[in-house]
Amino acid sequence: MDVLYFAWVRERIGVPKEVVETQAKTVTDLVEELRGREERYAAAFADLSALRVAVDQELTEFDASLEGAREVAFFPPMTGG
């Protein structure tokens, strides 16, 4: 599964994109896996209320299913306009 990071999440984790092999059933499960990997992930995912997530390029919630998902993206609240 492709995992993408944007803005300060990208900077904290250090890469814009990586391929993650996972059996995670939900976004929260995936976050737990990543947190357990390395300190930089734990730091980036410390406060989920400061993060947003998109699955297959659609905004969703952290309890969303990852079944069939090809791309997950994590980023801070958007500041367009």
Residues at the interface with another protein (CB under 8 A): 4, 6-8, 10, 54, 57-59, 71, 73, 75-81
For residue 8, give the 3-state DSSP assignment: helix
Question: Shortest gap between Cβ of 51 and another protein (angstroms)?
Answer: 11
Closer CB to another protein, 1 or 54, in the complex? 54
Closer CB to another protein, 23 or 49, in the complex? 49
Question: Shortest gap between Cβ of 36 and another protein (angstroms)?
Answer: 26
- What is the Cα–Cα distance from 27 to 18, expressed in whole angstroms? 16
What tokens appear for 36 in the block? 């357990």
CB 77 within 8 A of CB 62: no
Closer CB to another protein, 14 or 32, in the complex? 14
For residue 12, give the 3-state DSSP assignment: helix
